[in-house]
Structure 1
Amino acid sequence: MKSFDSMWASILDVGRAAASGGYRRFAWNDADMTLREWFTGEATARGMSVEEDRNGNLWAWWLPDGWVGDPRDAFVTGSHLDSVPDGGAYDGPLGVVSAFAAIDIVRERGITLTRPVAVTAFSDEEGARFGVACVGSQLTTGALTPERALKLRDAEGISLAEALTSSGRNPAHLGADPTLVDRVGVYVELHVEQGRGLDLVDQPIAVASSIWPHGRWLFNFTGEANHAGATRLVDRRDPMLAFASSVHTARGAAAVHDAVATFGKVRVLPNGANAIPSEVMAWLDARAADEQTLSALVEAISAEARTNAERDGIGLDIVAESISPIVEFPDDTRRRLQTALGHLGDIPVLPTAAGHDAGVLSAKVPTAMLFVRNPTGVSHSPVEFAEAIDCHRGAEALADVMADYVAE
């Protein structure tokens, strides 16, 4: 598939870290800006008009001949272009590249549009820079307020407001999109599978059934900085001990609840090899099949952390930074995708524990997801992978779904 392959090759080196081979495509950094220019170039090459909405999300429009007025009831597809630190190539960009490739396929079939089509690239989906996921789609749906968003800061202390200003955007524009429901008839996001469900059943494509509820919690352990050599053990107020215990607790509690829990991001002050820490900030990512289980899981981890903190004479503050409820993709939308792909045989229907913009948008508009096989099951890593033939199959499947929605 020539158009897919050429697009994919053109972005492979953008934001790639030489040391790890992974990507550092963070919101509003140089790599992100380069990919935004790439998006605009691909859209323009196809005669599509491009807009950046008030929240930094990109929209490329393909309108039916003779269309008058603003787009409405559109078939929208796409994903995001940013990455986690040292992430893989496929998470996000696969959906955007496949969306443009699907348009090429539909055009090659000579299909006449009956409704608008849009390709989107949502801003800051991973939350790698400012700590909150799906910033662009959350702002657009009103799930995240501009007031909270603008106060977010990255590891260098730069606020989102400052980052937007530096990139030539106006922070005052952030806010919910009142036209979203009218413009979007359905949003279908294609994504590399972040797990091995498809590999285990030897299938290249799946339709999503749901997204597990999930969230991020900041555990702020506070103690007392002191000399690592001269301070007696009995005189220490070391927050690292309670944090370390919490890491083990999270793993055990997740197993008990048939869920997942991870402390994957940590900041230590003063972060000296010969100093007892004064503060350990640790972010818990927790996910479960239902909201009751998620709540019980986080409470179990929190209770044990509080007990350990009290034992060690340190402070502990736990703040829920973001919580996303379960998303059940609409049955009728999911069945329509399965019908459109019926010629491929039985299409697996799988849940996912990974968050997506489709999950955020589902609160406002009909949404669905397609997954492309990941033979390793590894994601958020440089070794994330999908076979070229499966990527092509994914673009073809997306084109089949697009055609079902827009064909005359």
Structure 2
Amino acid sequence: MSSGGPDFERMWAELAPVGRSARSGGYFRQPWTAAETELRGWFAEQARDRGLVLDEDPFGNLVAWWRPADADPARPAVLTGSHLDSVLDGGAYDGPLGVASAFCAVDLLRERGIRARRPLAIAAFAEEEGSRFGRACLGSRLAAGAAAWTDVRDLTDRDGVRLGDLLPGGPAEPWLAGIGCYLELHVEQGRALVDHDAPIGVAAGIWPHGRWRFDLQGRADHAGTTRMEDRADPMLTYAMTALAANKQARLAGQRATFGRVEVAPNGTNAVPGRVRAWLDARADSADELAAMVAAIETQARARADRDGTRVEVTAESVSDAVAFDEPLARRVVGLVAGEDPGTARRIPVLPTQAGHDAGILQAAGIPSAMLFVRNPTGVSHAPEEFAPMADCLAGVEALADTLAGLLQ
């Protein structure tokens, strides 16, 4: 086996304890907290150990540059990497797997004596999950110009900390202008590769998806003295809305989830006066997504009329469908599968319902592709997320094989 195996296992052992909850086994690596800052330091150390040039843009995105002597600096660079942050109580693999694999892939390329004709960059994009400031893929959106700093700098987290107080923000050097293509390796967030009995897959595209905030306003009151018929209880409106989301998604074969709720005054013996809830919705087309969210909102308003409450719906972020660059995807499949028809591996090409930085870059005009590594549990955004070490090492090899072809 090449040195990529031991190197990856060592790096993965270094990452494993950072931000891990002793109670749940899940990870709390929210952006610009102690755990994520430790990971950023780890990224800088990996870059320094390999003689890579480290940059950080005003939005917190880290980039490590490999510029071999044979590389033509005038040619667009190949970008790889992923992110280091996690959702609340998340899994170990979502994000860091792609970053660690990228560093190991550079080691393998050097070990193989690959003569890179163009530069290579490894990125760790900031706030990919949107777990702290509520905007998924925020770092890549800002770097790509898909979001404006003036529109997001006043975002606050759950404790009232302002994004603009953590980052310098724009104007920024448009470093993505020097990128020719982007390849992101990621743990699969589902079980399709298990069904295909394949350790590695390639992404075809990303479903359209978004986040909507439902503000449900009622009247706070006493839980004991207030008759049921005299109440204006927004919790009832929310409960019906959550059930409506489940029903509409099941009927349409799509996805709708209320996963975060805030209640005020949040007392056991009080009728709530306000409920704020966030809907995550995803569908296989933009029309299906719009129709599903509209149906959920219609049912919420109908229920609010009966409960004597009010509903306000705000779209906080909506991402269109993304089709990854087809010529690049075909080339990735060919490079991973191998050229010899007798020994070529079968590489499934899969759609994904999860958002990724690769989708933001593709939408910004940078040809992008994704490699998936098999997840036998099918679980993601939770502690049970998993990828066997043998499959992780297969992912490192596949990434190195692909980068070798793209760099030459």
Q: Which of 307, 311, 330 in structure 1 is aligned with 2:302?
A: 307
Residue 258 of structure 1: aligned partner: 253
Q: Which of 231, 234, 252 in structure 2 is aligned with 1:239?
A: 234
Shift of 1:235: 1.2
Shift of 1:178: 2.9
Distance 1:53 1:363 in 2: 20
CA-to-aligned-CA distance 1:3-49 (integer Å, 9 cap, x gap): 10011100111111111111110011111110000000001101101
Residue 390 of structure 1: aligned partner: 391
Shift of 1:380: 0.3
Q: Which amino acid aligns with 2:355?
A: G
Distance 2:44 2:171 in 1: 23
Distance 2:250 2:277 in 1: 20
Q: Is the 8 A contact 2:90 2:383 kept in 1?
A: yes
C-alpha change, 1:274 and 1:72, in structure 2 (3 Å) is farther
Residue 363 of structure 2: aligned partner: 363
Residue 373 of structure 1: aligned partner: 374
Shift of 1:228: 0.7
> For 1:152-167, what aligned pairs fall within 5 Å after superposition?
152-162=155-165, 164=166
Residue 176 of structure 2: aligned partner: 180
Distance 2:22 2:170 in 1: 35
Distance 1:196 1:393 in 2: 17
The reply on whether 1:349 has 2:349 as its aligned counterpart is yes
4+ residue runs of structure 1 moved beyond 2 angstroms? 66-69, 173-179
What's the TM-score, normalizing by structure 1?
Answer: 0.95
CA-to-aligned-CA distance 1:269-323 (integer Å, 9 cap, x gap): 1111111111100000000011010000100101000111111111110000000
Q: Is the 8 A contact 1:139 1:176 kept in 2?
A: no
> Counterpart of 1:341 in 2: which secondary structure?
helix
User: Which segments of 5 or more consecutive residues in structure 1 lack a partner in the other structure?
Assistant: none
Residue 150 of structure 1: aligned partner: 153
Distance 1:198 1:66 in 2: 37
Q: Is the 8 A contact 1:23 1:89 kept in 2?
A: yes
> Counterpart of 1:362 in 2: which secondary structure?
helix
Residue 287 of structure 1: aligned partner: 282
Q: Is the 8 A contact 2:87 2:131 kept in 1?
A: yes
Distance 1:224 1:145 in 2: 37
Distance 2:151 2:272 in 1: 29
Shift of 1:66: 6.4
CA-to-aligned-CA distance 1:307-342 (integer Å, 9 cap, x gap): 111111111100000000000011101011011112
Q: Is the 8 A contact 2:70 2:115 kept in 1?
A: no
Q: Is the 8 A contact 2:28 2:90 kept in 1?
A: yes
Q: Which of 61, 64, 71 in structure 2 is aligned with 1:60?
A: 64
The reply on whether 1:220 has 2:223 as its aligned counterpart is no
CA-to-aligned-CA distance 1:332-359 (integer Å, 9 cap, x gap): 0101101111224121000000000000
Q: Is the 8 A contact 1:140 1:175 kept in 2?
A: no
Query: Sequence identity, in percent?
Result: 52
Distance 1:387 1:73 in 2: 34
Of 208-217 and 103-112, the range deviating more from structure 2? 103-112
Distance 2:24 2:55 in 1: 34
Distance 1:186 1:242 in 2: 47
Q: Is the 8 A contact 2:52 2:64 kept in 1?
A: yes
The reply on whether 1:141 has 2:155 as its aligned counterpart is no
> Counterpart of 2:363 in 1: which secondary structure?
coil
Shift of 1:161: 1.3
User: Which segments of 5 or more consecutive residues in structure 2 lack a partner in the other structure?
Assistant: 339-343
The reply on whether 1:15 has 2:16 as its aligned counterpart is no
CA-to-aligned-CA distance 1:34-79 (integer Å, 9 cap, x gap): 000000000110110100012110000100216686x751111000
C-alpha change, 1:264 and 1:317, in structure 2 (3 Å) is same
Q: Is the 8 A contact 2:70 2:116 kept in 1?
A: no
Q: Is the 8 A contact 2:72 2:117 kept in 1?
A: no
